[in-house]
Each structure stands twice: as C-alpha cells, then as structure tokens.
Amino acid sequence: ARQINFVKKIVDYVVLNGHMLDKSALQNEPFQSIGSIIDIFPTDKAVRIVNIIESINKNATDIAGA
C-alpha cells in the first residue's frame, strides 16, 4: 500500500508541476510522510522509478525547448 501511495504522489507531483527536475523533492513532503524511496522499494525498483522520472523530465524539457 505504501508503494502504491508513493507512486501516486509522484504522478500527482508531475501532473501539477510538469516535471520533477529536483529529485530531492522525493525526500520532502508529501513523500517524506510515506517513507524513503529506498526503504519502500527494493534498490532496483527505486532506480527504475528515478530513471522514469528522468525520462519524464527529458520529455518535458525537450517539449519546452522546442
């Protein structure tokens, strides 16, 4: 349940902001109250989530720069 909630918060954040260029946001609210990404997900899954965020950021900056 914590994993799903964490991912939903990421989606909400990206929908609201269009990106998550500063991934340290994952250490602040609303994520902090759920827990650390490292504590909630196995390392390989946490890395995958960060890679997906980076992909979203690249798409957002490519579109903005177009």
Prediction pTM value: 0.88
Question: What's the pLDDT score for residue 66?
Answer: 54
pLDDT at residue number 51:
97
pLDDT digits (tens, 9 = 90+) for 8-41: 999 999 999 999 999 999 999 999 999 999 999 9
Q: What DSSP element (H or E) covers 6?
A: helix 2-17
Which of 14-52 are b and which e, b meaning 16 or more Cβ less than 10 Å from the residue's Cβ?
A: beeeebbeeeebbeeeebeebeebeebbeeeebeebeee
Q: For residue 62, what pLDDT band results from cuts at 50, 70 and 90? A: confident
